[in-house]
Each structure stands twice: as structure tokens, then as C-alpha cells.
Amino acid sequence: MTNPLLTPSTLPYQLPPFTDITVEHYRPAFDEALALHDAEIASITANPADPTWENTVEALERSGQDLDRVMAVFGNLSGTDVTDEMEDIAADIYPRLSAHYDAMYQNEVLYTRLKEATPLADDAEGQRLHDHLLRTFKRKGADLDAAGKARLSEINQRLSALSEEFGRNLMASTRERAVSFTEEELEGLPAERIASAKVDAEALNREGFVIPLELPTVQSELSRLAREDARGRLYGASASRGSENNIPGLIEAVQLRAERAELLGYATHADYVIAEETAATADAARSMLFDLAPAAAANAEGEQKLLAEEAELNGQGFSAADWPYWESKVRARDFSLDEAELRKYFPLDQVLEKGVFAAAERLYGITVTPRDDLEGYAEGVRVWEVRDGNHESKGIGLLLTDYFGRPTKRGGAWMSEFVGQSRLLKRKPVIVNVMGITKPADGSQPLLSMDEVRTVFHEFGHALHGLLSDVRYPTFAGTNVPRDWVEFPSQINENWALDRSLVKEYARHVETGEPIPDELLDAITAASEFGQGFATSEYLGASIIDLAWHSLSAADASELEATPEAVAEFEAEALRAAGLDNPLIAPRYRSTYFNHIFAGGYSAGYYSYLWAEALDADGFEWFKDQSDLRTAGEKFREVILSKGASRDFTEAYREFRGRDKDVAPLLKRRGLAGA
């Protein structure tokens, strides 16, 4: 019996044959793929010929394709359908994977050969790859002595296990804390939302109605639930997630990361991480956050006053749980923005096909068409083919869309890949976009909130980065770029959601087919600054907590106590130092459910969304000045999207924009310019 994970797929674009893959295939495929990769590396190091670019660097870039294939399928599917079985496999294979790569980076013969292999003088991408590989080997411990290497491996394996455990604990805590309500308590929610809460209750074998928790502190239904006690329960469940099971693990992770940074010659984990980012130093990242904090806090205070008054007028109290509700009420009152009414202009398929895909066609000359003959990995997953209109309709790659929430799906929204682009490997990309949109129980089209509309555009921006990648080496493909760069294309793409010429086409009323009226669009624009004080504060709060944990020296980290009180005090202190200690604004994530930094590879990197937003706000000003969108899109595609990590980011930005980034457009957009 052949294992479908161990041979290249024969489906178009090497789409994995999902229907043939079962959970039994992962372990043997993983064992076999690890052994194959070891053999490939051994044949590079045992080569009697002198090291050359082809026999060493390119051979290394070609190696591990089986392992990549197994891990791409497993990595994606273990996030979209988290079952006990998949979690057991993850707990087993991630530490082994981490040990495997440690051994590769610590392989002295390989390291020596790499140093001696030089690219052709006119191969700029190769030159950059060579620098990148040598730096990566050094950062992974290639220069350490034997004891140092052994300790590093130990730390990495433990961190990998801790990360996996954090995610698993959070998933369990999130599932357990999904909040049960009676129908009366759901006052304020529309009938179809109540119906899906009934379905969720049944899936969990519970009586009544259940609202599952989303990843951030603020839950989207907080803006609609009319009852104060219902909001309080939902918020309380959200803000306490992970406090029962994630504290020892997160403290240990912080300690081990600090120790590792020191071992590798950095003062702190944040310094170690940010050295590879476009921000370059932890101080540069921290300065940006601290510079924005006072204006954000002041704006939030102004918002709070308005909302608390409105709550009082309605005879209700005002706590952290009530902020989103009264914000939506004040929005409706002051900006005539009725969020329920607004949703009717944004049915999912319409947003996707007439909005997201149409924008990409206009900008980049690509078309996205359904390939219903190809199967996704779960019910509701659709496969699309992306083709290049300008190059004799050449196939670019595949896009999978997995938009609906499932009880087994990890929270949040993300883009990932099943196959990464590479000219060396003759591979075209297969990309997936995942979200957790609530599917109406009656099977009708979900009507999206403005936030969800932006997220669909955002994730497709990442997808474009993967799909339009045109590099030789797989290491540099698509979104394999620093975190404070990777959000730049996705956030640029978000801007098209409200572009006037486009939105009139795709935002049509679900019952009447009428395009969204100008007054409503004006109201959205006017309202866009309102609420930015809160949004910026909760985001900055999370970023500052992230940097605070990861700016500890190994000695300071070793003093940390693993208790809920100590963690809460550490967070409070970090927020106080930045002037973000408003008790009514919790950070977007608290440490015990901060999946990004303790399970998601974003440690010391949560700041990067704002860093990239400065690029996006400034970059989008440029798009607004261009008379021909297709020409503008082509430039963005050529200079930014197609390049992955194959060229210097600051130089690429300069070529695209005509100058370095300016932070003023970001301040203006967030209403912080005059504050």
C-alpha cells in the first residue's frame, strides 16, 4: 500500500490528494520523509567533489521536499480540524522535527561546505541566499561548541513541545468555556445567529444555546448582546482563557527563549528575533509603540466618556464587557451606521467574487475561477484556479478557501500554503485562506460584518503574496519574509474593500440588489476614526506585553513566578509603563491566550502588524495618486509581491514608493495625528 503523502501529487499544481489521505498516513510518512531528508543531507556532505553552488547550496534547496509535503498537509489540517488524534501526532512529531533541523543547522561539514560554495557573480538572488543561509546557520548555533549545541537542541525541543502544548491547552480551554445561554439571554442577536447558537450547542451536547469563543479578548457578539449580564459572562469567559492550564508553560517558554538568546550572543529574545526583521532592533520596535501609546490612550478616554454617557442614559452600567455594545450604539446614533443593516450589503460569495477577486483582476490582470472538479480537505472548502490574463492566460496556482467556522477549527483567520512556489523546483503555489465565519443554520449566504469583509480582503492579500511569487529558490518564496514585512501586502489589500469604484460593484443589498448608497459609505468613512482609540490601545497593549516578556535577560527571566497573580502583575506593570493601564481596555490578547506569541511563531513580533501598517498606509497613498490601476498594480506586483524575500525590503519599498516610508499617513488614518 503506497502512502499518498510520500509521492508528488499528480493532481493539477500538485494539490494534495485529500480524499486518499487518512490520519494513519502521517506517522509513517513523517518517519520516511525524515530519513529521506537525512540521506539527502548526507549525500551533500559526503560528496568527494569540492563544494560548488550546485552540489551544495542548490542541492540543499532541493532537499527535504518529501518532508515539506508531509508537513504542509499535516500543519494545515491540524489547524483546521483539531482532533485528539491529530493533537497526539503533533505532540509526537514537532519535537522530532525541531531536533531534525537542529541537527542540520549544527552539521559542521555542511556549514563548512556552504561557506565555500559561492554563487555566480551576476546571480543577485543566489548571493542573497548565500548570506541568508550562513546567517541562519549561525543563528541556529553552527558556531557554538559541542556543549552549547547540545543545550540549544534541548531548549529548541522543549520550546517546540511547549508551543504545541500551549495551543492544545488553549483550544481545550476555549472549547470548555464556550458560553451557554437561554434564548432570552441572547436578546439583540438576529434569528439566524440564534439558530446557529442552537446548532453549536447540539454539537457540544449542551442544552440551550452556545456562543463559542473567538481568539481575541473582545468577542464579536459583545456588540450585539443587549443584556448586560450576558455580555459580562461572554467577556469573563474570554478574558480568563488559559489561566487554568497555560501559566507554567508560558513562563518556562519565556525563560528558555531568554537563555537561548544569550547562548547565541544576544541580550534578549526580542533582540535575537528583531535582528532579522525590517525594524532591525528591539528598540526601534518599542519606540514606535511607546510613541503612539499616549495619543491612543487619550483618544480612548474621549471615546469612553461618550460610551459611558450613553450607557447611563439607558440605565445600564459600563464595564470592559460593555464597551463594544455601546460603541456600536453610539456608532449607529452618530454616524447612522446600523451594523445589522450594513451586513446586508456583504453576502460572502458576492464579496469574494465581485469584490476580492475583481480587485485583483483590475490590479494584477489575474483571474480566479472555481475548480469544482478538485476536492478540498473538508466540507465547504472550495478550490479555485488563478490564471494570468496577460501571459496567454498562464496558470499561476490554486487557491483553497475554507471560510466557515467548525467546532474543531482553531480560532482566527490565516493564510497558509500546501505547495510553495519555486522556479528551481518547478513548483507553482497552492495557497489556502482560512476564516471562522458563522454559517447560517438555514444554509443561506452568511452576511459579513465590516470586520469580516476586511479580513477576507486581508487574507487574500497574503494569498496574492504566495500566488504571485516568482523566485528561483524556495527559501525566498512568497510569504517566507520577515513578519513586519509579511503584513504589508495583506494590509495593502484590505484598502480595496472600501475603494469607491469597487465597493459600488460588489456591495449590493442581499434582498434588493441595490448598490450600497453613498450616505452609508460616507458614514463608514466618518466612523472609521471613531473607535480607533480603543482599537489602537488594545493592540498596543498586546504588543507591549509581548515585547516585555521577551525583553528580559536570562537572569531576570529566571526570577519569574508561575502564578496567575504574578502574570497579571507583570502585564499590568508593562501596560502602566506605556500609559496603557485603563482598566476598561484589556489587551487584545492576555498572556494566557496569546496564541500568536506562545504557540504561533510571533514571539517578539506582534508589533509587526503596526509596523507593516505604517508601510501600508504610506504605500496606499501612492496607489491613490495613480491614474491607471493596472499599471500601478503591475509595479506593486513586480517590485513587491513577486519578490518574496529575494531582495532587500527597504530597497524594494524605496523603489516602489520613490522614497522611504513616512509614518504620517498611519497617524492620520488612526485619528492620532492631532492628538
Q: Cβ closer to Zn ion: 608 or 646?
A: 608
- What is the identity of the amino acid at 465? H
CA distances from 233 to 95, 189, 244, 434, 594 (A): 37, 16, 17, 28, 20
Under a CB-based contact definition with an 8 Å cutoff, are residues 444 and 192 in contact?
yes
Q: Which of residues 223-252 bind Zn ion (CB under 5 A)?
A: none
Q: State how far the Cα of 595 lies from the Cα of 573, in Å rounded to an integer.
A: 21
Strands 394-404 and 430-437: parallel
**CA-CA-CA-CA dihedral for 254, 288, 296, 342, to nearest 10:** -90
Instruction: Give min distance, CB of 462 to Zn ion, in A.
Output: 6
**Quick one: 129 or 435, whose CB is closer to Zn ion?**
435
CB of 484 to Zn ion, least distance (A): 11
Cα–Cα distances in angstroms (integers) from residue 517 to residues 24, 186, 446, 501, 506, in the given order: 54, 31, 21, 12, 12
Residues designated catalytic:
459
**Measured distance CA(278)–CA(485) in Å, rounded:** 7
For 42-52, letters b (16+ CB in 10 Å) and e give eebeeeeeebb
User: What would the x/- binding string for Zn ion be over residues 476 to 495, using CB under 5 A?
Assistant: -----------x--x-----
Supply the DSSP symbol for 357. H
When the beta carbons of 156 and 455 are compared against Zn ion, the nearer one is 455
CB 27 within 8 A of CB 35: no
SS (H, E, C) 632-670: HHHHHHHHCHHHCCCCCHHHHHHHHHCCCCCCHHHHHHC
Our CB check for Zn ion shows the closer of 271 and 487 to be 487
Cβ closest to Zn ion, residue 65 vs residue 608: 608
- Alpha helices per DSSP H over 314-443: 323-335, 339-343, 348-350, 357-364
Q: How many residues bind Zn ion, per CB under 5 A?
A: 2
Q: Give the alpha-carbon dihedral of 281, 286, 289, 292, to 10 degrees.
A: -100
56 binds Zn ion (CB under 5 A): no
Give the residue at shortest CB distance from Zn ion.
Answer: 490
C-alpha 651/C-alpha 658 separation (Å) is 10
Min dist CB 414 to Zn ion, Å, is: 7
CB 586 within 8 A of CB 538: yes
Minimum CB–partner distance for residue 612 and Zn ion (Å): 8
Identify which of residues 299 and 490 has a Cβ nearer to Zn ion in the complex: 490
| Residue nearer to Zn ion on the CB measure, 323 or 649 | 649
Smallest gap from residue 394 Cβ to Zn ion (A): 27
Alpha-carbon gap, residue 267 to 283, rounded angstroms = 12
Residues paired with residue 280 on neighbouring β-strands, in sequence order: none
Q: How far is the CB of 279 from Zn ion (least distance, A)?
A: 17
* Nearer residue to Zn ion within complex by CB, 156 or 490: 490
Residues that bind Zn ion (CB under 5 A): 487, 490
